[in-house]
Amino acid sequence: MPQHSLAELAEITGAELRGDPLWQIARLSVPQAAGPHDLVFLLDPRWLPAIAASEAQAVLLSPQHWGPALASKYALLVSDVRPALAGLLRLFHAAPSHPPGIHPTAVLGDNCQIDPSAYIGPGCVLEQGVLIEAGVVLKAMVYVGAHTRIGRDSLIYPQVTLYDQVHLGERVIIHSGSVIGADGYGFYLHDGQHQKIPQIGGVLVEDDVEIGANVTVDRGTVGQTRIGAGSKIDNQVQIGHNVQVGQHCLLVAQVGISGSTVLGDYVTLAGQTGVAGHLHIGDGVVAAGKSGITHDIPAGQKVSGFPAQAHLRELKQQALLRRLPELFKRLRGGDV
């Protein structure tokens, strides 16, 4: 891996450099494993003692955290560490490029259109009428259903399944084991038996969406399930049929959203949050972990608990619940 001088890194990140501009950086590292030519980074003030004690000579941090404890270190001072760190990680750990082409073990259906710059990996199966745009990478054993479209520069990791009529926008990333476009959970009871409602819709995933591992996004019963541009979905999330996820939403691990619910833009659902069906969650709503949302939530609210309610109200109720043993003891003892 090539080394880079602090002067180069300062230019790339727009940082103010304190120290030797010719000092060479071999890699980025956590403080506990860092050597003299590693660059460490400060995202949390609690990391300061570990960074000060590390062997690393250089640190990436914001000006407010620069002080006497780090006086012996070289510093790259930036207003926001995370974007600077992301840029340096891309520099030191560039994703491997794939030569354009179709692996001889791939299976292609009739009338597939594959841009010459795309890469189709070993064991991939593309059904009829698939459209693959420029720069797409399908790693090993990806299944792409009929009449599915994958937009330019998208990256699909091994063993992803895209059912029929899935439309991915540009720069979409889908991690291993995810299934996009399976049938929604649609049944009705007739003569004592559960009868299946055919699921004939599709899935639309807009530009710049990232979908984690083992995520399931069901196809629409009629019409499309939609994931809005810029949204990021963590591992093991379930999105039901005809759900509409707005732009730039964050869905954290084990979130479940029932059918036909609509999320506005910039909604955050923390881990293990469950959302009932046919609801509307307004723009900017934040739901704390393990929330159970059973009713519409207006825009801008922060909610928690089950059933979900205003977060501050939930905190007050939880504080009172913790006092119940004490209050019960007082009542039984005749103190009140």
* Distance in angstroms (rounded) separating the CA atoms of residues 59 and 12: 15
Residue 116: HSE in the Cβ half-sphere, 13 Å Cα cutoff:
0
Residue 140: HSE in the Cβ half-sphere, 13 Å Cα cutoff:
1
Cβ 60 vs Cβ 42: under 8 Å = yes
Cβ 26 vs Cβ 8: under 8 Å = no
The DSSP output letter for 61 is E
Give the relative orientation of helices 81-92 and 6-13 as an angle to the nearest 10 degrees: 120
- For the chain, residues classed under CATH 2.160.10.10 are 101-314
Of 239, 237, 215, nearest to 227 by C-alpha is 239
Torsion of CA 29, 30, 35, 38, to 10 degrees: 30
- For the chain, residues classed under CATH 3.40.1390.10 are 4-92
Q: Token match 């103190």: residue?
A: 335
Catalytic residue among 103, 194, 241, 311: 241
Cβ 310 vs Cβ 302: under 8 Å = yes
pLDDT at res. 262: 98
* Distance in angstroms (rounded) separating the CA atoms of residues 220 and 262: 13
Q: Is 4 one of the annotated active-site residues of the chain?
A: no
pLDDT at res. 336: 46
Cβ 185 vs Cβ 221: under 8 Å = no
Of 36, 89, 91, nearest to 59 by C-alpha is 36
Dump pLDDT digits (tens) for 95-127: 778 899 999 999 999 999 999 999 999 999 999
* Distance in angstroms (rounded) separating the CA atoms of residues 299 and 20: 50
Q: What is the pTM of this model?
A: 0.90
Superfamily of structural domain 4-92: MurE/MurF, N-terminal domain (3.40.1390.10)
Sites in the chain below the pLDDT cut of 70: 334-336
What is the fold of 101-314? Answer: UDP N-Acetylglucosamine Acyltransferase; domain 1 (2.160.10)
pLDDT at res. 328: 80
